[in-house]
Amino acid sequence: MKYLFCSILLSFAFIINAITPYVKTPEPAVLEVIYSRTQVTDTTLRDKRFIKDDVLLRIGSNMSLFCGVKKLWEDSISKVDYASYSNILKASYEKDPKNFFFLGGRYWSYIYKDKQNNELTECDYFNLTHWKYKEPLQDPVWAVTDSIKKCMGYDCIMATADFKGRRWIAWFTPDIPISDGPWKLCGLPGLILEAYDVNHDYEFIPKAIYASGIGPVGYMQYIPENKYRSVSCEEFLKEWRKYQMQNSVAKIKAAYNIKSGSTRYDKKLLYDREEITYSPE
């Protein structure tokens, strides 16, 4: 366990400088915010079934990156120092065989907001497939309120918006004049430090803010472009939903391209993604 902890600390420091060759059109980051992301995994038992992951928003002059802290670390070190990654993976398996698969956390999406080209790109992995879609960068239509509270020592103002199928509440600070935030949230006159939907199915709570010692911002090229399945956002959401509703036998058949027998989508969907702006089939 001590080896695992020390190795992770060393690898974090090492990969900040080593990942630049894997970043397309890198630019220096001006700020990075670490959030605790909570996701309810059963909306009938919101207070009992949920997962937490640390996620980061890394902001440059022209682009921002939003992804899981552990996922970025895992993808980075597996590329720049595979020997160390293998040792960490082995130590993790010996410590907890049931959960070593989640060494990279449970949030695997990479979301890029390209302000220069007014484009948002999301990459994710599920159903043994690397997925990618692009869409125009969209600002929610916010209603700014007169409610104020402190977040990370900053005075924050509350704003609300109906966006991507949910009603969101965001707390932003004009003291950091960057119009960005976690996930796809943006478009306020200040950085969003805290956000959640009204049902608290998703929450983003700030943990730390860094202005130095940050890695570069750009498209992470850990996966070759030809390995992605490029789809529309709507198709991406529908495929994820179908994957979540497949029974175990159907998932195995899909993984090995077995077409015999019935492939049923009879598993109840216990939760949905942040975005639910598609038409279920």
Looking at residue 47, what is its pLDDT?
83
Looking at residue 280, what is its pLDDT?
47
Tokens of 269: 């969907």
Pairing of strands 228-230, 129-136: parallel
Closest CA to 186 of 204, 199, 201, 200: 204
Q: Which domains does the chain have, with CATH numbers?
A: 2-225 (2.50.20)
Question: Taking a C-beta distance cutoff of 8 angstroms, is the pair 188, 141 a contact?
Answer: no
Looking at residue 85, what is its pLDDT?
72
Looking at residue 48, what is its pLDDT?
83
What is the value of pTM for the model shown?
0.86
Residue 232 CB partners (closer than 8 Å, separation 6+): 133, 135
Looking at residue 14, what is its pLDDT?
52
Looking at residue 279, what is its pLDDT?
55
Regions of the chain with pLDDT less than 70: 1-19, 82, 97-102, 247-266, 278-281
Looking at residue 103, what is its pLDDT?
72
Looking at residue 263, what is its pLDDT?
54
Looking at residue 80, what is its pLDDT?
75
Distance, CA of 51 to CA of 65 (rounded, Å): 22
Residue count of the chain, please give it: 281
Sign of CA dihedral 237, 120, 208, 144: negative
Looking at residue 81, what is its pLDDT?
73
Question: Taking a C-beta distance cutoff of 8 angstroms, is the pair 239, 231 a contact?
Answer: yes
* Residue whose pair of structure tokens reads 């529309």 in the numeric block: 232
pLDDT above 70 as % of the chain: 81
190: left (phi over 0), alpha (psi -120 to 50) or beta: left
Q: pLDDT by residue (tens digit) across 47-66?
A: 888 899 999 999 999 999 99
Looking at residue 268, what is its pLDDT?
80
